[in-house]
A and B are shown apart, each in its own frame.
Chain A
Amino acid sequence: MSMDQLLLLLPALVVTATTVLCMLAVAIHRRHLVSCVISAVGLLLALLSLSVAMPLAPQEVTPLLRVDAFSLFFTVLVLGSALVVTLFSYPYLCNLEDQQDEFYLLLNISVLGALVMVSSTHFLTAFLGMETLSVCLYGMVAYPLHRSRTAQYPMEASLKYLVLSAVSSGFVLFGMALLYAQSGTLHFTDISAGLAGGALVPASYYVLASLLIIMGFAFKLSLVPFHLWTPDVYEGAPLPATSFLATVGKLAMAALLMRFMSVSELLSSADIRYVLSIIAVFSILFGNLLALRQSNLKRLLSYSSIAHMGYLLVALITLNATGQSLGAEAVSFYLTAYVVMSLGAFGVMTVVSDSAQERDHIGHYQGLFWRNPWLALVFTAMLLSLAGIPLTIGFVGKFYIFAAGVQGAEWMLLLAMVVGSGIGLFYYLRIVYRMLAPLEHHDPFPEAGLRELLPHGLLLCLLVLLVLPGVLPGGLMALVETVVRSL
């Protein structure tokens, strides 16, 4: 392995070093603040180290990984959202009557898994990354285990996630085994030859194998019919874990899926497009319908994430069909938008919650505008963006997907998107409406003093990231265009 290749992996190496450092610090002297600072600084350094890796890309780093503009872009997103989650975790975990440090440890290891996922072009690394991410997530979801009053059902959520995730990993592995049995390699590119037919086995063999893999991925993205776990896990997990699962988890999985689809040219098969279209339509409709009357905001956002992943799938389906890069651009743009809005929405909830009490019921936000206009403003902006109202990043993202769908002439999918967005507007605006309703009872938010400054500053940054690309999307669009070209 040459020096260049090591430099290309620098972000992952820095995160690994951070993990080790974190562990050592815990062994020497336990201190919540120290662990958090080490973890945050590590992530920040990993972000900075990208500037070293960037000029060397694109390059294959062993047959297992490929570092190019695409993987670097998603590395930035993963590290950025992990950093935000880390910083939101600190005030949340402060009053946990248990050890807090290991949370950061788990978070760092799972970031490592996500980093491997976004740059893998090989089933081995893909699976390794997925499992590294998932195994740490089980721990993060169940983190406040010894406290009965904190997040309500962390153990239940973690166990559900563990069992179901194992089943889905089984699917993925089985699919890989089938492919390997025929081609003798585990590289993404080798599937396309088999799909074209002419080999010993019919094309449907490859369809079967690829579907097994894609469905395993679809479980992680909580697409219908593999979505049932989502609300329970989102609700049961502590808020930082939920926001990590909703952002980094989805981000890495979607990036992997996109790379897989685009490298293997699976979408040239009409069968696979057909199945994915059905899944997309049902995800959009189910997600939005499920959220319709939900009053627990964590559950509501989990349902809405099902719908959002459905939108994403619409763009993904048009990936190769259009012959242009619009589909891939739309996916990358939408993922960016989704991460920003999810972090913002969960961030507001994290700010008003702590590990003693989570404020995740819609009633907790009744009259928020009259209590704390700033938080209400941020939350409203995030919700409007999720609903796809203009001048937010969410609108531009949705518009992008729409443009891709129009170019791919996927009219059924677009119809589902329109209907879904219509339903979506109702439940997003219901929250806004509740925030503007008169204040009834007063349930004081946790007072964290100076510690509050940091999360509020983060919310401000997220708000800027939400509005700026909504008003001037040109820069991000140009970036996404160059990113996609490297695929």
Chain B
Amino acid sequence: MQEWTGLLPAFPLAGFVLLVLSRGRMPRGIAGVIGAGSVGLSFLLALTIAIGVLNNGGQAYTTVLWQWMQVGDFAPGFSFYVDGLTLVMILVISGVGFLIHLYATAYMADDPGFARFFSYMNLFVAAMLVLVLADNLLLLYLGWEGVGLCSYLLIGFWYDKPENGYAARKAFVVTRVGDTSMAIGLFLLFSQLGTLNIQQMLMLAPQQWSVGSGIAVAASALLLGGAVGKSAQLPLQTWLPDAMAGPTPISALIHAATMVTAGVYLIARTHVLFELAPSVQLLVAFIGLATLLMSGFTALTQTDIKRILAYSTISQIGYMFLALGVGAWSAAVFHLMTHAFFKALLFLAAGTVILSLHHEQDIFRMGAMRRRLPVSFWCFLVGSAALTALPFTSGFYSKDEILLAALGQEHYGMLLWTGGVLGAFLTALYSFRLVFVVFFGRDRHQGSSHGEDHAHAAVMEAMSPVMFFPLLLLGLLALGGGFIHVPVDTVFGAVHEEVHASQFLHALMILIPIFGVVIAWGVYGSASYQKAGEHLRERLLAAPIGRRAYRFWFSGWGMDALYQWLFVNPFMVLARLNRKDAVDQIYGWVAQAARVGNSVVVMLQTGNLRWYAISLVGGMVLVIGLGVWR
């Protein structure tokens, strides 16, 4: 099946082309079949390829799709490289992608832009597959920018609301900062190593650079810049919460399961470079730690169901970065996979809730939805359990690995571990705060005053089989995904030695999330404690420090305001100053010069035969003069 690898992105790309060519005139049924079916075909193909490769002992291979030209040493072309890491990524992208596409056929059924939605989604899947299949960084960059474009288009999908357009622009511009850094990194790598082929690079770099050399540090730091932008990590994390303006399936696919983990993939893919730059690798760990804690605190204060999940995504990717930073590459990939399962599940369930409640997103206007939205409730319960890393869920195994690896870090092991465990506590707190507020307690939804039937009927409507099936599968994966073995041992070389923590630390790692759940239950859940909990909250908010902290956290640690003050405002001032673009003047001169040149040479075209004949002779004399008496 290996020769069919090129078809993986070709299916969704073909879907995109078909949907675009139909110009929205295609019946919804067919558009949905094309949209979801193309990704489904990709998934089936990915599955057969994976089975073939794994039966073959996980042997990596390269397929050349197309060589553009060969002039001297310059031979640009498309080639795909498939190894264990790629397999995990393509399976997650096409598999989870397919489920989300399926769900979206129902979720978006009433939207006027149905075909447009699926065309963007297909394009996204194609670009994302190219990103992970690329055997050289240039092609990877193509996919990288492709997913960025689709992300922009889909965040602003409902473009008639200006704030959606603003959110899309913000996401585009902020990630562009990281992309620029990454592009410079590519230039640097190419100029130093003479190739952008990833495998060659990983082979050449250790031979040419010593550990900790300046070039290695610069190159990996620049790549890290790109990864940080795409994966919404500190300091470029500000775009992701706003990106929730897009339809919920988008948030599930792009801003939770796949695209935002591209940065993790990039670092894992080029891990040799990071091993050559220990200082940058440590930076990765601390970025991850800081991000996971900051967004954990922020998630605690949010009231919008999707924003909570968004911050939780940032925080979970922080865990992946932490794992990358301590060299636990496979743990990072493992968490990437399990996170894709449970976060997609949570987002899709949130979508169901939002749809059932007629686009209500404030969790404090929900409540007691347990009985009305039983499927969503169970999904949320499963997803949150996995997110919180309760024992025997998928998240438990992946997070466990990360924390153990963090503990094994030479110098800062204890610090990183403590931070990670604190983050796990926060995770438990905010995710079960969400569960308890939405599904337990008092019903605060407006619809309830009109009678339960209305809302109840809506719930039944919102759950069709095509929505239920993806939720069911994702739920099973979120529970059992921890038992999947990620076949990346051959990719990352020697398996890390197991870190043996003491029984006490092990117990702590299991108990602390449970403790968090209990506290969340105490504050937001049980009827008996709820009053006390609310009382406590009010007391906390009444105190100046509490209120300030709340506001600080709620605004995402004031990062938006900071950037507004630090970058946006000075930029606007500069732009206003340079309204008559100075650089533009130069181009004006160029155009002017061309115009003058034109009017001069046109004068020669008189149309007179005698002048032409004279010029012929004169030209001849000139030429001979130049040639003979030079």
Question: Which A residues have a C-beta under 8 Å from some C-beta of B?
Answer: 159-160, 163-164, 167-168, 171, 204, 207-208, 211-212, 215, 219, 224-226, 228-229, 231-232, 271-272, 274-275, 278-279, 285-286, 289-290, 292-293, 396, 399-400, 403, 423, 426, 471-474, 477
Contacts and interface: CB of A to CB of B under 8 A. Distances in A.
Nearest to B602: A290
A471 B612 CA distance: 42
Interface string B58-70: 0000000011111
A385 to B, nearest CB: 15
A226 B624 contact: no
A160 B616 CA distance: 12
Given A271-B627, A286-B601, A160 B609 contact: yes
Interface string B31-46: 0000000000000000
Contacts of A212: 620, 624
Interface residues on B, range: 20 to 34
B620 A403 contact: no
Nearest to B598: A292
A234 to B, nearest CB: 12
Contacts of A159: 609
A211 B595 contact: no
Contacts of A229: 612
B72 A403 contact: yes
Nearest to B629: A204
B602 A271 contact: no
A163 B609 CA distance: 8
Interface of B: 66-72, 594-595, 597-598, 600-602, 604-605, 607, 609, 611-613, 615-620, 622-624, 626-628, 630
A471 B598 contact: no
Given A164-B613, A403-B71, A423-B594, A225 B626 contact: no
Nearest to B610: A163
Nearest to A271: B627
Contact of A472 (B66, B600, B609, B630): B66
Contact of A215 (B594, B611, B623): B623
17 contacts: A159-B609, A160-B609, A163-B609, A163-B613, A168-B616, A211-B623, A211-B627, A212-B624, A215-B620, A228-B615, A229-B612, A272-B627, A275-B627, A285-B597, A292-B594, A293-B598, A473-B68
A171 B619 CA distance: 12
Given A293-B595, A399-B71, A228 B604 contact: yes
Contacts of A219: 616
Contacts of A225: 615-616, 618-619, 622-623
Contacts of B609: 159-160, 163-164
A167 B613 contact: yes
B426 to A, nearest CB: 50
Contacts of B605: 228, 231-232, 290
Contacts of B67: 474
A285 B604 CA distance: 14
Contacts of A292: 594-595, 597-598
A140 B39 CA distance: 58
Nearest to B611: A228
Contacts of A471: 66, 68
Nearest to B618: A225
A290 to B, nearest CB: 5
Contacts of A231: 605
Contacts of A164: 609, 612-613, 616
A207 B628 CA distance: 7
Contact of A473 (B69, B600, B613, B620): B69
Nearest to B617: A167
Given A160-B612, A207-B628, A275 B623 contact: yes
Given A225-B616, A472-B66, 9 more contacts: A163-B609, A207-B627, A215-B620, A219-B616, A225-B619, A278-B626, A403-B71, A471-B66, A477-B70
A275 B613 CA distance: 21
B587 to A, nearest CB: 11
Contacts of B604: 228
Query: Which interface residue of B597, B615, B616, B618 has the most chain A CB atoms within 10 A?
Result: B616
Given A163-B609, A272-B627, A289 B616 contact: no
A96 B486 CA distance: 76
A208 B628 contact: yes
B624 A290 contact: no
A389 B597 CA distance: 24
Contacts of B611: 228
Nearest to B619: A225
Contact of A274 (B597, B612, B619, B627): B627
Contacts of B607: 232
Residue with the highest number of chain A CB atoms closer than 10 Å, among B66, B72, B594, B615? B594
A474 B626 CA distance: 40
Residue in A289, A472, A473 with the greatest tally of chain B CB atoms within 10 Å:
A289
Contacts of A275: 623, 626-627
- In the A-B complex, the 4 residue pairs with the smallest Cβ-Cβ separation, listed nearest first, are A225-B619, A292-B598, A289-B597, A275-B627
A228 B612 CA distance: 6
Nearest to B599: A293
Nearest to B591: A426
Contacts of B613: 163-164, 167
Nearest to A396: B69
A167 B616 CA distance: 8
B624 to A, nearest CB: 6
Contacts of B620: 171, 212, 215
A271 B71 contact: no
A212 B68 CA distance: 42
A160 B605 CA distance: 13
Contacts of A208: 624, 627-628
Contacts of B602: 290, 293
Contacts of A211: 623-624, 627-628
Contacts of B594: 289, 292, 423, 426
A208 B626 CA distance: 10
Contacts of A215: 619-620, 623
A472 B605 CA distance: 41
Contacts of A167: 613, 616-617
B489 to A, nearest CB: 38
B578 to A, nearest CB: 24
A274 B616 contact: no
A390 B607 CA distance: 37
A480 B198 CA distance: 33
A421 B293 CA distance: 55
A286 B597 CA distance: 8
Contacts of A271: 627-628, 630
Nearest to B70: A474
A80 B615 CA distance: 35
